[in-house]
Chain A
Amino acid sequence: MNSKAPPGIPPDIHELAGEYVLGTLSASSRRGVEARLGSDAELRAAVQAWEDRLLPLAGLAEPVTPSPQLWRRVERSLDTLETTPRRAARPKPWWRDWNNLALWRGLTAGGFATAALLAALLLTRLVEPPPVTRFMVVLVAPDDKAPGWVVQAGASRQIELIPLGTVDVPADKALQFWTKADNWSAPVSLGLVKPGQSLKVPAGQLPALQPNQLFELTLEPRTGSPTGRPTGPIRYIGRAVQVL
Chain B
Amino acid sequence: MSLSSRSLSEFDYEATLAGCAAGDRAAMQRLYTQEGARLLGVVERIVRDRALAEDIVHDACVNIWTRAASFERKLGSARGWIYSVARNLALNAVRDGHREVAVDDETAAALDARASLEAWHDMADAFAWQDSAGRIGPCLEQLEPVRRNCILHAYVDGLSHGEIARRLDAPLGTVKAWIKRSLAALRECMA
Give A residues with C-beta under 8 Å from B. Answer: 1-2, 7, 11, 14-15, 18-19, 21-27, 30, 34, 44-45, 47-49, 51-67, 70-71, 73-75, 77-78, 81-82, 86, 118, 122, 125-126, 133, 181-183, 207-212, 242, 244
Pairs across A and B, CB under 8 Å, 22 listed: A19-B183, A22-B183, A23-B91, A23-B155, A30-B95, A44-B75, A48-B72, A52-B76, A52-B80, A53-B136, A55-B80, A55-B134, A56-B136, A56-B137, A58-B156, A59-B38, A64-B53, A70-B36, A75-B25, A78-B25, A125-B66, A207-B99
Residues of A near B46 (CB, < 8 A) are 23
A22-B154, A125-B63 are contacts. A60–B127 as well, Cβ < 8 Å? yes
Q: Known A-B contacts: A59-B38, A125-B66. Give 11 more (CB < 8 A).
A: A15-B183, A21-B84, A44-B72, A56-B137, A61-B41, A66-B40, A74-B58, A81-B62, A86-B23, A133-B92, A210-B96
- B66 near A210 (CB under 8 angstroms)? no
Residues of B near A45 (CB, < 8 A) are 75
The answer for the CA separation of A86 and B20 in the assembled complex, in Å, is: 12
- Chain B interface, >50% SS class: helix
- A49 near B180 (CB under 8 angstroms)? no
Residues of A near B129 (CB, < 8 A) are 57, 60
Contact with A along B26-67 (1 / 0, CB 8 A): 001100100011101110111000101110011101110111
- B29 near A24 (CB under 8 angstroms)? no
Min C-beta distance of B76 to chain A, whole Å:
4
Interface-central residue, B83, B127, B164, by most chain A CB under 10 Å: B83
- Ranked 8 nearest A-B pairs via Cβ: A56-B134, A48-B76, A63-B37, A18-B183, A48-B75, A51-B80, A27-B95, A61-B45
- B155 near A70 (CB under 8 angstroms)? no
- A2 near B184 (CB under 8 angstroms)? yes
Residue of B37, B89, B190 touching A53 (CB-CB under 8 A): B190
The answer for the CA separation of A15 and B181 in the assembled complex, in Å, is: 9
A27-B96, A51-B84, A61-B41 are contacts. A81–B65 as well, Cβ < 8 Å? yes
The answer for the CA separation of A44 and B184 in the assembled complex, in Å, is: 18
The answer for the CA separation of A240 and B178 in the assembled complex, in Å, is: 36
The answer for the CA separation of A58 and B136 in the assembled complex, in Å, is: 12
- A244 near B63 (CB under 8 angstroms)? yes
